Amino acid sequence: MGIFSSIKVMLVQPSYDENKATDVTYNALSESTKQIIKKNDVKNILNIEFQYQQKIGLAGIKFNGSQKNKEAVQIDDDLNKYIIQEAAKKGKQYSNDLIDKILAAEEVYLKKIGAIEK
């Protein structure tokens, strides 16, 4: 379903900053996408993505010291569906295409902090 289903996320404990992630992700979007979505919507989608990661047991995994786990976890296709459902509870509607664009743009930030391979 979504482009994020093929992205492999590294199991590491990078320093993820919600505000920086929102800014970098928003700035990585195309100008045409920025015209149809606000920065607050990007933040909302990223927060719901984090909730999903917590739900499936991916978020909050801790490792000793600076050791990184080279094993990758694949985010499944249910992520978009989860984001759409949770956003609807808040009165927001996002298309699969828009969610895919935001998650793809988030890769810029995730690579920057070393959360995914470059």
For the chain, give the mean pLDDT: 80
Confidence of residue 18 (pLDDT cuts 50, 70, 90): very high
Tell me the mean pLDDT in the region 58-78. 49
Residues 82-117 have pLDDT tens digits of: 999 999 999 999 999 999 999 999 999 988 988 887
pLDDT band at 75 (very low <50, low <70, confident <90, very high): low
- pLDDT of 76 reads 61
pTM: predicted TM-score of the whole model, two decimal places: 0.76
Task: Give the span between the Cα atoms of 118 and 116, in whole angstroms.
Answer: 6
CA-based radius of gyration for the chain: 14
Per-residue confidence band for 57, with pLDDT thresholds at 50, 70 and 90: confident
Domain boundaries defined on the chain: 3-112
Distance, in Å, from the CA atom of 20 to the CA atom of 112, rounded to the nearest integer, reads: 11
Across 40-58, average pLDDT: 91
- Which has more confidence, 69 or 37? 37
Evaluate if residue 81 carries a pLDDT over 70: yes
CA–CA separation, 40 and 42 (whole Å): 5
